[in-house]
Structure formats: C-alpha cells, structure tokens
Structure 1
Amino acid sequence: MEVASSISAAKMFKAFVLDGDNLIPKILPAAIKGVEIVEGDGGVGSIKLITFGEGTSQLRSMKHRIDGLDKENFTYSYTLIEGDALMNEIESIMYHVKIVPSADGGSICKNRSIYHTKGDAQITEEQIKAGKEKAMGVFKALEAYLQANPDTYN
C-alpha cells in the first residue's frame, strides 16, 4: 500500500512513528484509547499494548513488537503478535513502513504487510481491504492534524 501526503517525510515520520503513541489517541480517541509499552524501553524489541476505543470496532486490544526503527531512513517495522485482530486464524502480521520524500516536498508512505496464518487458514481480500481502509483512515486523520497544525514536529 502506498499513500501520498503533502506533509514532508521527516515531519510525517516524527508524528506517525516517533510520537504516534501519544498523538494518535489524541486525534482519534474513539478509535485508539491508548498505547503503552509493556516490555522494553520503546526501542527495537519492545512490546506495545494498543487498546481500542469502545463502540468503534469489535476489537479490544492488540500487542505488537518493534522489529526495526531507522530514524535517518524513515523506516519502521513491527509485528502484530497478539490480539483480536489476529482472529484465531493468523499467527502474526509483519508490517514494514517506509516514508520517502516526494518531488513536491511531501511524502509517500509505503506499507507492506506479511500475513503468517495458522495451519491452512486463508485470509480473504475483504479482510485485507478492511485492514488497509483502517490504516488509511488513521494516516489521513494524522495528515489532516498536521495540516491544521503546521508548526508541530518541525
């Protein structure tokens, strides 16, 4: 999945990845109730618990492990290791995010997801599409916040 933004790569990375645990619950409190580090110091190897807002989804929480973080190249990778989003059919989902500068001064967020299913379970196109739509919604809400607050994350 690739999403273009008018926000610079550096600013988007700071907001989305480096401060996303604080910012996203503030701008989307109905969707994300909170994020807390349950193991580690917030760097590679740390495990985070994400609690979802009530009434916006059937999901309650999930845990993910930070697998990689490169602040200079704007890359971030993590693995969803536990929670309702795995639907008892998925062992884990690996996410690789890279935010690259675009020619117009904005950025392009590239996100690749790798699903590891249990046994012979199959993931449907509808399930993948639903996940992409949720991720797109978060990204676009974050972009709108940064456009409305241009002096943040400079």
Structure 2
Amino acid sequence: MGVFTCEMEVVTKILPAKIFNALILDGDKLIPKIVPQAIKLIEGDGGPGSIMKITFGEGFLFDYVKDKVEALDKENFIYSYSLIEGDALIKSLEKITNEIKLAPSPDHGSICKSISKYYTIGDFAITDEQIKAGKEKSSGLFKAIEAYLLANPDA
C-alpha cells in the first residue's frame, strides 16, 4: 500500500466562519441547491464518526460515495473526513482522507487549505492527471459555493 498526498489552496472573498458554515455545517442543505447531487446523513449527528452518503446526479463520473467525519473543529474552522466507500475509490484505493482548514486572508476573506491523502491498494499509483482532475473538481465546488454566497449574502 502506498500513500499519495496532494495539497491545494483556494482563496475566497468570504469570511472563514461563513464559508465554513456553508461548506461544512450546512453543506447538506446548501450544496444540493448549487450542484445537482443529494447528500444524506445516514449515521450520526454530523460530528466525528458520522457517515454521509453523497449520491451524484447525471453528468458526474461517479454514482455515490460515503464519507466518514473524522474531526470537526468549529472554533478553528478545521474539518477532516475519509471517503470510505463508493465508486470514486475505483477499486484501487482503500480510502481517501481530506483535511480542510480555513483561515482569514489579509484581504478580509479566507484561505482554504486542503490536504488529501490517497491510500492505494497494492502497487496502484495516482497519476498527475488524476490529481489535477481532483483539484479542479474541488476548486470548482468551492468557487460555486463562493459565487452563491456572494450573490446571496443572507444565505
């Protein structure tokens, strides 16, 4: 088994508390308004140990994934979870862990830092193309949420 690590940073005009609430705490309600997918809490209360199932709609590469919440720090805007089941694991990954940290930026917005670790099965290797595609999808979702919040300041 190997572990491939990928880091990403996204800057937004939204304050950390607001983007954390939208993306993490209220993501199951807000994200389906922005992108066509269903998020359902199937075990737990949304805190550590909870399991979420995300069912993707038409046009997505995958049908579903299950995420397990590993840590949730509302005061420091840190969230970590593991993708533990679903076709996104492509039968070659044991799991994918993600840690998201939000911090204030100098221009009164936020800096979102994300670290993803891909735990491979056997000698499977993650390609640069796969990492790039994953970053683009994550960044796209983040930017879609940012655009929604900028257009709907009371959301």
> What interval of TM-score do these two structures reach, taking the shorter chain for normalisation?
over 0.9
Q: Which amino acid aligns with 1:7?
A: I
Q: Which residue of 2 aligns with 1:50?
A: 54
Partner SS state of residue 91, structure 2: coil
CA offset at residue 15 of structure 1? 0.5
Alignment match of 2:21 (pick from 14, 24, 34) = 14
Paired positions, count: 148
Runs of 4+ with >6 A deviation? none
5+ residue gaps, structure 2? 1-7
How big is the shift at 1:116? 0.4
Q: Give the alignment's Cα RMSD to 1 decimal.
A: 0.8
Specify which structure has the bigger relative contact order, considering alpha-carbon pairs within 8 angstroms and separated by 6 or more residues: 2
Instruction: Tell me the equivalent position of 2:12.
Output: 5
- Equivalence for 1:85: 88
Which of 116, 120, 140 is 1:117 aligned to? 120
Partner of 1:142: 145
Deviation, 1:28, is 1.0
Aligned mate of 1:40, from 27, 38, 44: 44
State TM-score, norm by structure 1: 0.94
Question: Structure 2-normalised TM-score?
Answer: 0.93
Shift of 1:39: 1.4
Residue 150 of structure 1: SS of its match in structure 2?
coil
Given residue 111 of structure 2, which amino acid in structure 1 is its aligned partner? I
| Structural mapping, 1:101-116, within 5 Å | 101-116=104-119
1:27 matched to which residue of 2?
34
**What residue ranges of structure 1 are gaps of 5+ in the alignment?**
none
Is residue 132 of structure 1 aligned with residue 135 of structure 2? Answer: yes
What whole-Å deviation, never above 9, does each CA across 1:115-135 have from its counterpart, x for those lacking one? 100011111111111111111
